[in-house]
A and B are shown apart, each in its own frame.
Chain A
């Protein structure tokens, strides 16, 4: 039941993009086509889960015992960026197909605040490791849901006759706003 609440809460109620404003850069940047947004969602799922596990272990077994939690920000960002590099190298060797699919999105993820945000939230909510993993996976699913829906809408918007000033980013943001309005309907579900 507790896991159910975490999952529904992360995917719908507190959707990472539309309610918590994390990961807006890829959300606006790579959402022009459904296929690229699927690739991005895959990369986010992969890195977010790994990063949450690693940062959880670092916080609980290194930072806290040595009483140096003020190094949280520095250590997290270093761990996440090296993790991304490592994942990239390993994927290239072990699974070239997956690397082909996720490849170009991986370097972009280092500066994706969603990854760091979820890692920080896991600590803030005092989750256990398993809860943290479920939390990360459902946040990634929420990201996938939001970006794929948005990309679908944007593909159709290509054909619309918008006023010149609205084209591009402004229209995308207003659509994202309406999508956020729709997601507010989930508020109070858990």
Chain B
């Protein structure tokens, strides 16, 4: 499984790409595999405030709905509208076309609470196997 080095990760399997005071958010390749076929996505609204570790979006498979938590706090500046018509992008390209939303960061220091790729890889590999 692929965990790009330039991203930071949450224990709850979201990633964020931080650039200056902006962050782009998605779910990890581990998460998309656990969720399986994504059939529905509910994204936050533009200008909505999201809070670190609080629900910001919902991704649903046939079977169940999964809350997606904001890796960092901020204001939503953009959402991935392509997901409405094609939610499967999350499975096909979790770090690329399957991104969820972009935020303007409220507190850049929050990034320190997030894991590096190496740390995240270690936690995922310790997760119970089915």
Partners in one complex: no
Query: Taking beta carbons and an 8 Å cutoff, which residues of B are in contact with A?
Result: none
Query: Taking beta carbons and an 8 Å cutoff, which residues of A are in contact with B?
Result: none
